[in-house]
Amino acid sequence: MVFSRRMAALAAVVLIPLGIAATSFALTDSPQEPRVPAKVELESGSPGPKPTSSPEPTPSDQVVTRPPVTDGPSDDDDDDDRGGDADDGPGDG
């Protein structure tokens, strides 16, 4: 079997990434395992949480009403000028 251009391209496609991976693996540091302290001590005089008189509602407890559904186009003028002079600021009509 003759070593053709297809075989050379296939070998390059396979061997170049393998060479890059091998080089990267060879150049990386092998990090040491992290050292965990044997004993952790907390400050004895740390302040505790202050109790609140009335708990505020969590975001999941708040109910937001939906806006009404309309079939027609909305009345907002938000970049709908199609090249007009209005700047869509307050007072544009």
Whole-Å CA distances, 81 to 22, 85, 89: 59, 8, 12
Local confidence pLDDT in tens for the 93 residues of the chain: 667 899 999 999 999 999 999 999 888 877 778 888 888 777 776 566 666 666 666 667 777 888 888 777 666 655 555 656 555 566 655
CA distance 76 to 22: 60
CA distance 38 to 40: 7
pTM of the model: 0.31
CA distance 22 to 35: 29
